[in-house]
Amino acid sequence: MATISISPDQDTVLAEIHIAAPPERVFQAITDPRQMLLWWGQKEKKCIAPRNSKPTCASTANG
């Protein structure tokens, strides 16, 4: 199940999804740039910014 909401001041979009995997595996997949590319599967730059953390970004040669 997925949910999406936008803050009242329109500066934040929060998207939540349920992933059928242990939290440790999901964390590993989104913090390792090589795995993140496989997980997202798109040829562009992707950044994940956990709350109060520095973003992790990865891109393919075409992105």
Looking at residue 21, its pLDDT comes to: 93
pTM for this entry: 0.46
Alpha helix segments (H runs only) across 1-63: 23-31, 33-40
C-alpha distances out from residue 22 to 6, 12, 27, 45, Å: 27, 27, 9, 25
pLDDT at 45 over 80: no
User: Of 7-11, 29-33, 49-53, which range is least confident?
Assistant: 49-53
